[in-house]
Amino acid sequence: MIHERRCTGPLRLGVPDEFVATLEEDERVVWLGGTPVLVPIEHLPWWSGRFFGSSGLPGTSDVRYCDWDALTRLDPGHGSTDGARADDLPGGLWVCEVPDDQLDQADRAVAALASQAGRSARAVPLLDDEEAVEEYYATMLRVEHHLDRPFDLRASWRELVDAGAAREADPDGPSLMFPGHPVALDELWQMYADTMGVLSLDHPIEAVLQREEFDGFVTSERDAMLVLCSGGAPISVALVSSDPNRFEWLDQRWIDALRTPPAPREVAFVPGIATRIDSRMKGSILELLTSFTRLIVQWSTDITVVFPCNNLSRNYTPRISQRASEQLGDRLRGRVHKVAGYVHRGYVVEPGRGQPEPGAAGQGSE
């Protein structure tokens, strides 16, 4: 690789080194300086072919991931790529994910590459403006009496049940899902799919669990599914994993950096909190998150929790998460804060000469 990739947040940027060898036999891949800078998205499984197949965006017959970060590093500040030719660079739709504080760098790099090959790059939004920015938050939670032991979600829940502080299959409260739980997984899956639609299922990035992975949260040793019921019917579900390294769309270097002392060694990722639309005013998310923080206190472990938000949930989930930790008073301390924001950017690349008109590459999905 020609450069050390910047690590700016939880979402994985660029083409990971372990994927590069798989690209060498595909003549459609465009290489510059030894780096794959234009890659058909089917090589990167966290990009959603389904989304582009139904989006109605121009150029979707040929969708390429554009590594704007690599272009910028070839000539910092300009994205210059000497030697690029028009026949090297396909038209169509180039897509990328950009940290929200680096949009100008990305636009300049993509426009420069297209221009040097005699093409123009016109920015188009991949999502509606209100849905375009995806944000990640984290909270470092510290307990009053810390024990240095690996976080065990299920053992912690069992301790709560044994102490009378939690109830198995509670018909009017939170409980941990287990094989044979009276709530049907089909119903929880539908709730998850409906709620996560804007963030994942109808989104250019497949930052979403497949059904088999979702079901695995019921039996996995390092994952857990908390369900909240009212009158025996589920109204919310929260997924929690103490193994964030298994989520392919996350940047593992950033996750590993969270474990650097004096930060806690333990890191948890919340891939989804889903609530029935007709139950959002019942305070259910607060009750679920409070239940999760009780697991942390019960196990007496310090931990950093990372969770994504979309255009809706970023207005309330961080605030509710803060309230959940504050409810436990001196036994748990933590502050929720934003750690990264991303814009999912698209460029329609067409024949043309020279740079696009001023501002053209900056239009779109902020």
Tokens of 349: 């690349």
Measured distance CA(45)–CA(24) in Å, rounded: 17
17-21, 215-219, 223-227 — which is least confidently predicted?
Answer: 17-21
Judge whether residue 318 has pLDDT over 60.
Answer: yes
Percent of the chain's residues with pLDDT above 70: 86
> What pLDDT score was predicted for residue 238?
94
What are the backbone angles phi and psi of residue 259, rounded to the nearest 5°? -90, 5
Measured distance CA(363)–CA(357) in Å, rounded: 11
**One-character DSSP codes across 181-208:** -SS-HHHHHHHHHHHTIIIIITSSB--S
Measured distance CA(345)–CA(63) in Å, rounded: 12
Judge whether residue 162 has pLDDT over 60.
Answer: yes
At 180 the three-state DSSP class reads coil
- Relative to beta strand 92-99, strand 336-351 is antiparallel
Judge whether residue 171 has pLDDT over 60.
Answer: yes
Positive or negative, the CA dihedral 221, 166, 179, 269 is negative
- Inter-axis angle of helices 284-299 and 153-162, nearest 10: 90
Comparing 37 with 133, the larger pLDDT belongs to 37
Surface-to-core class of residue 205, CB atoms within 10 Å of its CB (0-12 exposed, 13-18 middle, 19+ buried)? buried
Share the mean pLDDT of the chain: 84
At 120, the amino acid letter reads S
The CATH topology of domain 134-341 is: Aminopeptidase (3.40.630)
> What pLDDT score was predicted for residue 232?
92
pLDDT digits (tens, 9 = 90+) for 17-53: 888 888 988 989 988 878 898 999 999 988 888 888 8
Determine contact, residues 182/227, Cβ cutoff 8 Å.
no
Domain chopping of the chain, boundaries: 17-131+343-362, 134-341
pLDDT digits (tens, 9 = 90+) for 242-288: 999 888 889 888 999 999 988 899 999 999 888 887 665 555 888 88
Chain centre to alpha carbon of residue 183: 27
Determine contact, residues 15/39, Cβ cutoff 8 Å.
yes
Closest by CA to 270, choosing from 230, 229, 237, is 237
